[in-house]
Structure 1
Amino acid sequence: MASKGRVITGNDTLDGKINEYFEWYKDLKSEDEIHEIVKSKDVGVLSELFLKRLQFGTAGLRGRMGPGYSQLNDLVIIQTGQGLLQYLINGGEGFKEKGIVIGYDGRHNSHRFAELTATIFINSGVKVYMYSKVCPTPFVPFAVMKYKCAAGIMITASHNPKEDNGYKVYWENGAQIIPPHDKEIQKSILDNLEPSLTSWDVSVLNAAGSLCKDPLGEVMEDYFRIIKNDTVYPETNKSTILKFTYTAMHGVGYEYMKEAFRVANFKPFVVVEEQRDPDPDFPTVKFPNPEEGKSALDLSIKTADANKSTIVLANDPDADRLGCAVRTKDGDWRILNGNEIGALLAWWMLHLHRVSHPDDNPADAYMLASTVSSKILASMAKKEGFQFEETLTGFKWMGNRCVKLLEEKKHVLFAYEEAIGFMCGSSVLDKDGISAGIRLAELTTYLETMGLTLLDKLEEIYKIYGHHISDNSYWICHNQETIKKIFERLRNFAGQQNTYPTSIAGGKYSIIAVRDLTTGYDSTKPDNKAVLPTSKSSQMITFTFDNGLVSTLRTSGTEPKIKYYNELCASPEQQNIDTLKNILAEMVSAIVEEFLMPKANSLIPRSS
């Protein structure tokens, strides 16, 4: 704080930012933490905290909580809210009457961050729909569309570690923001950094009257009415002998999935009690993400075994993703990956559409998937007659594309990304782990009436449309220069500028197409220009091989990872799965060793 005198580190710019922070921040605990770092004379740490700033990335902010401008704390949240407010005001008249929606999860500081955000908007006379308790992330975009609001904000870091939090922004169309909104909001934040004194006083919420409304009751009524109306076989659900086990992964999902099961006419599920209620410390899981596999679902599987349950449904902490594990006929457990769940839900959503709209032209029905997801939907579309579209990675792209399709009066049946994110129908234009869980449960009971399991159905899908087997993972790399070097080497292979690899494994497998969405290059187009949007700030290259393998290497927008996605798309005639698995394993090994070179680049392997 300014009264303690100027902080001396030997760097005038750094000292100025630290003093500014102390002057603006109204939290003595945070101030003491900074003074401890100052005493250690760690200029490097202080520079990271005060000379850098969290940038708007995947639909908002996400990062570690703590002091400084490069982490999330009350001051950064206030600055963000003030910048977003001004951007919305500049967008035109009527914004204040339309209002905004604010939701939050069970993480440390989530409720506090939500209250600070609401305070900023209410002080400016903007109507705020703020949830009275923790809610699933999809309830925010759902409410944006229900109340025709100007924007929505969800305070969540989804499945990130407990130290993190985030600030996710939705636009008035109910989809996550995309460029240029993110860059313009960032600019507006930088133009409105000094916090208003009134922004700290959350007591204004108690006297806000009609300016602050809790949407929870009305949203739940409408949301679960849709779940009920979209349930085609309620009697089958009621009479099933199957037992479902559910985990909320220490997140918000339990009460909402419980209600979804009730309105869809299911018997209550078996709950993983230790993970039922929100706990910001996530005490039973190292990574609170069902996508991590057995390490995250171990407790769920033990609970299922103890209760003679054969299927596990799992939400991540903000309930926008869905994981699933099923017991095999020999008593083991198999955890379905995102592409497998995507194939099952796609088949089911097409089935439900045909039952509900038997006279509709299938050419007016659409399904979408991200470019790193399985090509199984494309194979299904060719055979079944519906339309398939591919988008960039992330539901912000799929959601905004769905907006356009709905404006054209098209049926949007399903959209998904391999990172266990699924959108069933179009009532929420984002991934939704609650509705996806119910649809998958209903498919399971429907199959049970025919003596089939999810695994049986998955095998049938692959027999009809061809096996699509994948091997997706990542390597950790904290050095941005190393990441840049890896991708630049692929663009200038063997020292030849603007030349990509042409094969792997000593020429055994040939590359027939390359798409680089960092530079905008696509060898399959007449002018070599990619159709999908490009981004110079992120790395993403896709290689297509002559035997049907599609391999994508990309960086993560929120984590220090180089991710790889490999899928071997076989024809229906190629039914020897062991042969296909061996080919895939050989090719993935060659791609990792020849393209990523983990040993030479000191990459850290994914923990098992």
Structure 2
Amino acid sequence: MNMTWKTEWTKWSTHSELSSKLKKQMNEMIESEREDAFYKQLEFGTGGMRGELGAGPNRMNIYTIRKVTAGLAKYIEENGTEAKKRGVVIAYDSRHGSAEFALEAAKTLGAHGIKSYVFQELRPTPELSFAVRYLRAYAGIMITASHNPSEYNGYKVYGEDGAQLPPAAADVIVTHMNEIENELLLEIKDERELLSQNLVSYIGENLDQVYLDYVKGLQLNKDVANLHIVYTPLHGTGQTLMPQALQNTGFQHITIVDEQRNPGPHFSTVASPNPEEAQAFQLAIKYGKETGADLLLATDPDADRLGVAIRNNNGEYILLTGNQTGALLLYYMLSQKQEKGILPDNSVMLKTIVTSELGRAIAEDYGVQTVDTLTGFKYIAEKIDEYKKKGTKTFQFGYEESYGYLIGDFVRDKDAVQAAVMIAEAAAYYKQKRMTLYDGLIELYEKYGYYKESLTSFTLKGKDGAEQISHIVNKFREHPPTEIVGVAVEKIEDYQSGKRTNLLTAQQERMDLPSSNVLKFWLQDGSWFAIRPSGTEPKVKFYFGVRQGTENESKERLKEVKASVINLVKKI
């Protein structure tokens, strides 16, 4: 869609029904802010859309919500009357505008005669995924910006399988969005009218109980009462389900971080509500020291990501990386299932291409196949669906380095509630053996090697930033490095072309994955780094992974590889 920001600005500023709040925001913008807010439509991709709140087509507001929902409605209409009747489940988190946006989506769907099931109160993303499947809805909408700062909100779309939409379906929605000439004039229906026509139904506690019963069914060991847990929902949706999920599975000593218990859009006690960051755990660590907790848990605002902190051998709390938590979960589940004789021969573990190789080593040890997917849990969900339909493999676990895990496939997205219950169960298991999760992690490293990973992001906002991100990736694609700190680059995997090239033998082979703008470089010593532009934020991400014989060797190697690659970026 060709857009000139001044034309769009005029269209919005002269719209008679624009709210006073949006008009005020527009009047306060300086010219560069106006250009950024009005020069394009907020992008909708396979991760949905996410952006800063405010006026303009490149911001999150009721009009961009209506536009994307109208695109979704057209997509549903194309799939027939039955799809419209099955309808859409809508959930939302604690952010600014989330409840309003959820209702605007329902009112827009209602204008197309499409049924909506709207959660009465905020709920986690994994429950939205579960609800789509359980209610046999045709689609789902989650209003959330995950762990982004408070000035952001977002919109994720789920298909009938409970997974985020694959690229082909997302492209159809974008096509329909592009056909809309003026999002300010889209038709919506009144809430009361929709309720009277049974085009909106409110859902809540009954569904909670069904979901929690499924979570309880994942238990492998029930002797967990002695474990002491501190949990923080970071002002998000986790408070609605997490305490009950832990209690249902036998945990009796659960302390909630009181200052972060209640949902709130400002996330006032943290710089960012991101459980990947140490500052988000400051209060939980304080509570942990006061209570002597064995395990600290934190979830992001929509409770799909889980952060974990454990005591090291010095008694200090340390944060686990997503890769470390994933490895501990995988090892615990596979070892327990093998011991109980319930690990199928055709088991499979799914991970993304930028997730640690430690998981592959663990899975291989238990005769479990590892399958790599592109980054994004929708690709893991796609594989689960494929295996389910074919009956060829039995899914055991899926995870990604960015703190997302899935155990039970009754949800088809990352699920912090499931993961919290299982990592707590693993901690209780080790405690019975007079060990900590930290002891268990060191055992894994001693057995499989010291795998270390890291991530560096470059944030480049605005029109120029997007062009610079593209330039950085293209530079590595067109002029790839042949060595990093004296070690030859052995293979390059270009997920856009679908080719894996061995630089040492000049041989090429195809990779059986969808096209994606990602590059991965493998060094001769097994180290690797990958480059991936974010699909939802103005960032380009650099991932790094190494494996050495000792922790110090791994730390040093990781530091060297990372510094060398970043130096290359700075020269571009």
Q: TM-score when scaled to structure 1?
A: 0.88
2:365 equivalent among 380, 383, 392: 383
1:272 aligns with 2:253: no
Q: How does 1:563-582 map to 2 (within 5 A)?
A: 563-570=541-548, 574=549, 576-582=550-556
Q: How does 1:538-553 map to 2 (within 5 A)?
A: 538=517, 540-553=518-531
Asked if the contact 1:252/1:319 (under 8 Å) is kept, the reply is: yes
1:287 aligns with 2:260: no
Asked if the contact 1:154/1:168 (under 8 Å) is kept, the reply is: yes
CA drift of 1:168 comes to: 0.3
Q: Secondary structure of 2:167's match?
A: coil
Root mean square deviation, CA, Å: 2.2
1:178 aligns with 2:166: yes
Tell me what 1:211 maps to.
199
Asked if the contact 2:44/2:174 (under 8 Å) is kept, the reply is: yes
Q: Deviations over 1:336-368 (max 9, x none)?
A: 000000101111222344366x26532x11111
Counterparts in 2 of 1:475 and 1:30: CA distance versus 1, 3 Å:
closer
Asked if the contact 1:227/1:263 (under 8 Å) is kept, the reply is: no
Q: Deviations over 1:222-275 (max 9, x none)?
A: 1111122222322x112x1x3110000111101311110111011041111111
1:596 aligns with 2:572: no
Tell me what 2:411 maps to.
428
Tell me what 1:160 maps to.
148
Counterparts in 2 of 1:355 and 1:199: CA distance versus 1, 3 Å:
farther
CA distance in 1, matches of 2:467, 2:151: 26
Counterparts in 2 of 1:168 and 1:197: CA distance versus 1, 3 Å:
closer
Equivalent residue letter for 1:468: Y
Is there any run of 5+ residues in structure 1 with no aligned partner, and where?
1-10, 494-499, 602-608
Is there any run of 5+ residues in structure 2 with no aligned partner, and where?
none
2:299 equivalent among 315, 320, 323: 315
- Equivalenced residues, count: 562
CA distance in 1, matches of 2:336, 2:110: 43
Identity of aligned residues (%): 32
Q: Deviations over 1:398-452 (max 9, x none)?
A: 1111111111223211100101011112111110011100000011001111111
Asked if the contact 1:290/1:314 (under 8 Å) is kept, the reply is: yes
Tell me what 1:27 maps to.
19
Tell me what 1:150 maps to.
138
CA drift of 1:392 comes to: 0.4
Asked if the contact 1:116/1:200 (under 8 Å) is kept, the reply is: no
1:231 aligns with 2:211: no
2:233 equivalent among 242, 248, 254: 248
Tell me what 2:188 maps to.
199
Asked if the contact 2:15/2:184 (under 8 Å) is kept, the reply is: no
Counterparts in 2 of 1:348 and 1:49: CA distance versus 1, 3 Å:
same
Tell me what 1:482 maps to.
468
1:139 aligns with 2:127: yes
CA distance in 1, matches of 2:212, 2:404: 20
Q: Deviations over 1:144-176 (max 9, x none)?
A: 110111100000001011011011000011111
Q: Deviations over 1:298-340 (max 9, x none)?
A: 1111111122223201101110000011122312221100000
Counterparts in 2 of 1:441 and 1:307: CA distance versus 1, 3 Å:
same
Q: Secondary structure of 1:523's match?
A: strand
Equivalent residue letter for 1:126: I
CA drift of 1:74 comes to: 0.9
Tell me what 1:497 maps to.
none
Asked if the contact 1:22/1:31 (under 8 Å) is kept, the reply is: no
Tell me what 1:46 maps to.
34
Q: How does 1:483-498 map to 2 (within 5 A)?
A: 483-493=469-479
Equivalent residue letter for 2:538: P
Equivalent residue letter for 1:561: K
CA distance in 2, matches of 1:558, 1:384: 36
CA distance in 2, matches of 1:452, 1:31: 60
1:561 equivalent among 509, 534, 539: 539
CA drift of 1:474 comes to: 2.2
With CA pairs under 8 Å and 6+ residues apart, which has the higher RCO, 1 or 2? 2
Asked if the contact 2:334/2:343 (under 8 Å) is kept, the reply is: no
CA drift of 1:61 comes to: 1.1
Tell me what 1:109 maps to.
97
Q: TM-score when scaled to structure 2?
A: 0.93
CA distance in 2, matches of 1:468, 1:428: 29
Counterparts in 2 of 1:36 and 1:551: CA distance versus 1, 3 Å:
closer
CA drift of 1:475 comes to: 3.0
Equivalent residue letter for 1:122: G
Q: Secondary structure of 2:276's match?
A: helix
Tell me what 1:4 maps to.
none
Asked if the contact 1:553/1:564 (under 8 Å) is kept, the reply is: yes
Asked if the contact 2:50/2:537 (under 8 Å) is kept, the reply is: no
Counterparts in 2 of 1:187 and 1:492: CA distance versus 1, 3 Å:
closer
- Which contiguous aligned blocks of 4+ residues in structure 1 show a shift greater than 6 angstroms? none
Equivalent residue letter for 2:98: S
1:222 equivalent among 183, 198, 210: 210
CA drift of 1:55 comes to: 1.4
CA distance in 2, matches of 1:321, 1:567: 21
Q: Deviations over 1:77-117 (max 9, x none)?
A: 11221121111101233112211100000111000000111
Q: Secondary structure of 1:591's match?
A: helix
